[in-house]
Amino acid sequence: MSADLTRNQTLVMKTLSGAEAPLSAYTILDRLRDDGLRAPLQVYRALDKLTEMGLVHRLESLNAFVACAHPNCHQQELIAFAICETCGKVEEFSDEVVKDRLDGWTRAHSFRPAKTTIEIRGNCGGCVGKA
């Protein structure tokens, strides 16, 4: 399994796990002032490691981070995110057909993919109508 987390990584992980919506690095920092964190870099370093371990995802269209909803389940597959712009809730899912189609395109174009981002922004079922 994955190695134990360090102190700062544990603090950041707990903050993200307890959050209802994605958090920016600076929001995480604010919530951890009382635990001794003072500088952005302390949070960014923890986020980097947690992301490497697959415990946290970065949402590119939000410049924010979420705890993985299925830790240790989708180590290497393609993940898509549905992000509600009203309540902030994020759903993760994978789709083999989407993956195959994108893989097909990259192969056909001799493109070597390193990281793929799929983010759908909109409103979740509970928020449609309220927005």
Point out which residues bind Zn ion (CB under 5 A): 68, 84, 86-87, 92, 124, 127
Alpha carbons 35 and 37: distance in angstroms, whole number: 6
Taking the complex as a whole, the smallest distance from the CB of residue 99 to DNA amounts, in Å, to 25
Give yes or no for residue 6 binding DNA (CB under 7 A).
yes
Among 1, 20, 33, 38, binds DNA (CB under 7 A): 38
Q: Which helix (H) or strand (E) holds 53?
A: none
At 57 the three-state DSSP class reads strand
**Phi–psi pair at 7, nearest 5 degrees:** -55, -55
What angle, rounded to 10 degrees, do the helices at 7-17 and 40-52 form? 80
Q: 41 is in the binding site of which of a copy of itself, DNA, Zn ion, none (Cβ under 5 to 8 A by kind)?
A: DNA
Name which of 38 and 109 has its Cβ closer to a copy of itself: 109
Taking the complex as a whole, the smallest distance from the CB of residue 16 to a copy of itself amounts, in Å, to 20
